[in-house]
């Protein structure tokens, strides 16, 4: 059996321990998290209230919305309408990476966690940010060339390749 590294965040000590048998097939978040509800919806659904109501009745602490379908915006609005924003954290996938989705969600997007590239919020990056100048230029050039708002997808690049990515995408 493998060992696990147990870190005590209170006193910052760490010890290696034999992993319990029940951890045999787990890894990563599987060691710290449990899925308590697994709800699905269709790409043309206009409400996910039923699914969210089921989740609200569990001991869940967070919701992960892993989707690129239009209901991802509806899901956020329904989450807010049900008052679930006061109890559950909401994590969107990178599929939420269009500023348009954030705008469509309106206030329901407030407090939502999403792994989006900085290019989506270039204008609010702090002046000291090493990425601010590039992100602003990329955003401006992209929007000028394509006539629509930038999404996180074009800006998700390795920083070492970012200048080349910018050149290839925009020029």
Across the range 115-138, mean pLDDT stands at: 84
Range of the domain at 9: 1-33
147 and 106 within one domain: no
* Helix intervals (H) in the chain: 49-56, 71-81, 99-105, 132-146, 162-170
The CA distance from 114 to 36, in Å, is 21
Residue 160, pLDDT score: 46
Residues 48-78: pLDDT tens digits?
Answer: 999 999 999 998 888 988 877 678 899 999 9
The percentage of residues in the chain with a pLDDT greater than 90, rounded to a whole number, is: 17
Q: What is the C-alpha to C-alpha distance for residues 3 and 20, in angstroms, rounded to an integer?
A: 9
Task: Identify whether residues 5 and 40 lie together within a single domain.
Answer: no
Pick 153 or 132 by higher pLDDT.
Answer: 132
First to last CA, the chain: 54
pLDDT value at residue 69 = 67
Of the listed ranges 9-18, 65-74, 82-91, 110-119, the least confidently predicted one is 9-18
8 pLDDT above the threshold of 80:
no
- Tell me the C-alpha distance between 155 and 143, whole Å: 13
Average pLDDT over residues 82-110: 86
Same domain, 159 and 104: no
| Separation CA 56–CA 78 (nearest Å) | 12
Model confidence band, residue 161 (pLDDT cutoffs 50, 70, 90): very low
pLDDT of residue 53: 95
* Mean per-residue pLDDT of the chain: 80
Q: pLDDT at residue 6 above 60?
A: yes
CA–CA separation, 60 vs 56, rounded Å? 8
> Considering its fold, how many domains does the chain have in total?
3
Last residue of a domain, one of 93, 116, 139: 116
Assess whether 78 and 21 both reside in one domain: no
β-pair type (89-92, 62-65): parallel
CATH number of the domain where residue 44 is located: 3.40.50.2300
Distance (Å, whole) CA 148 – CA 142: 8
Q: How confident is the model at residue 171 (pLDDT cuts 50, 70, 90)?
A: very low
CA 5 to chain CA centroid, nearest Å: 27
């Amino acid at each position: 059996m493998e060992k696990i590294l147990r870190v005590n965040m209170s006193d910052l000590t760490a010890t290696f321990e034999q992993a319990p048998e029940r951890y045999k097939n787990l890894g990563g978040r599987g060691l710290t998290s449990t899925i308590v509800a697994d709800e699905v919806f269709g790409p043309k659904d206009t409400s996910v209230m039923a699914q969210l109501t089921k989740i609200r009745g569990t001991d869940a602490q967070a919701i992960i919305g892993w989707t690129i379908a239009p209901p991802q915006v509806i899901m956020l609005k329904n989450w807010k309408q049900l008052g679930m924003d006061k109890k559950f954290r909401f994590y969107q996938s990178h599929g939420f990476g269009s500023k348009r989705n954030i705008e469509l969600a309106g206030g329901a997007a407030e407090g939502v966690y999403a792994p989006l590239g900085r290019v989506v919020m270039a204008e609010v990056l702090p002046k000291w940010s090493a990425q601010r100048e590039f992100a602003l230029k990329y955003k401006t050039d992209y929007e000028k060339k394509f006539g629509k708002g930038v999404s996180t997808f074009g800006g998700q690049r390795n920083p070492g390749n970012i200048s080349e990515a910018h050149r290839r995408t925009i020029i």
